[in-house]
Amino acid sequence: MKVGIFGGTFDPPHLGHLQLAEACVAHGLDLVLWVPNHQNPLKGETIASAEDRLEMVRLMIEDQPQMAVSDVEITREGPSFMVETLEELKVAQPDWDLWLILGADSLANFLDWHYPERIIRMAKLAVAVRPGTDLDALIEAQPDLIRDRLDLVEMEPFPASSTDARAQLAASEPARALHARVAEYIAERRLYALTPNF
């Protein structure tokens, strides 16, 4: 079973995230497992709680039969290192053939991650590329360690980011990149210190 591991802060999750997961399913993955982190070691503190971010992901993908969400990093607490998550999943699900889902921007700093050489032994890299990307140059720029484990997933551009969504919400502006169920949850819970105007 081919399983894509989609880690991230998801603060909040948005339709760009969903589009990437859908592109990976269309590319041939049997399941995309979303893994909200407890604390991204490369970023600061999140705005929404871990529990809220987990629930927002769950709401966004609840009608996606080839997607699921895991609390493995949230229950572990502390800094969330993907190498530890993959090691846990390898023990719990030894029959899974793992892919780590990344945006092209994350590929650029992948070697700065915690034990990238161990990650690459456990999982291939499913890297999203958008139209106009020079695929040959992208591949050639990688060290052999990564190049041999790359699986490029083409997808249409979707201009969205969690940073932009938070800024729009904080200004009481519509955050159009949010799934309707996520937007409703944010309004009900009054997340991001706002009363959004949807």
- pLDDT, tens only, 127-153: 988 777 777 777 888 888 888 899 999
| Lookup: tokens for 171 | 């200004």
Kindly tell me the burial class for residue 103, based on how many C-beta atoms sit within 10 Å of its own C-beta (0-12, 13-18, 19 or more): middle
Does 107 score more than 90 pLDDT?
Answer: no
**Cβ neighbours of residue 187 under 8 Å, at least 6 residues apart?**
195, 196, 198
Per-residue pLDDT reduced to its tens digit, 20-57: 999 999 999 999 999 999 876 656 677 899 999 999 99
Domain of residue 84: give its range: 2-158
Is residue 79 domain-resident?
A: yes
Predicted confidence at residue 134, as pLDDT, reads 75
Is residue 180 domain-resident?
A: no
CA pair distance 40, 78, nearest whole angstrom? 9
Is residue 130 domain-resident?
A: yes
Domain count, the chain: 1
Is residue 185 domain-resident?
A: no
Per-residue pLDDT reduced to its tens digit, 52-91: 999 999 999 999 999 999 999 999 877 888 999 999 999 9
Is residue 178 domain-resident?
A: no
Is residue 166 domain-resident?
A: no
Kindly list the distances between the CA atom of residue 23 and the CA atoms of 13, 18, 49, 116, 146, in Å, as whole numbers in the listed order. 16, 9, 28, 24, 21
CA pair distance 152, 129, nearest whole angstrom? 7
Q: Which residue has the tokens 């719990």?
A: 92
Question: From the CB of residue 117, how many other CB atoms can be counted at a distance below 10 Å?
Answer: 11
Helix axes 50-61, 180-189, angle to 10 degrees: 150
Domain at 31, CATH number: 3.40.50.620
Is residue 177 domain-resident?
A: no
Is residue 44 domain-resident?
A: yes
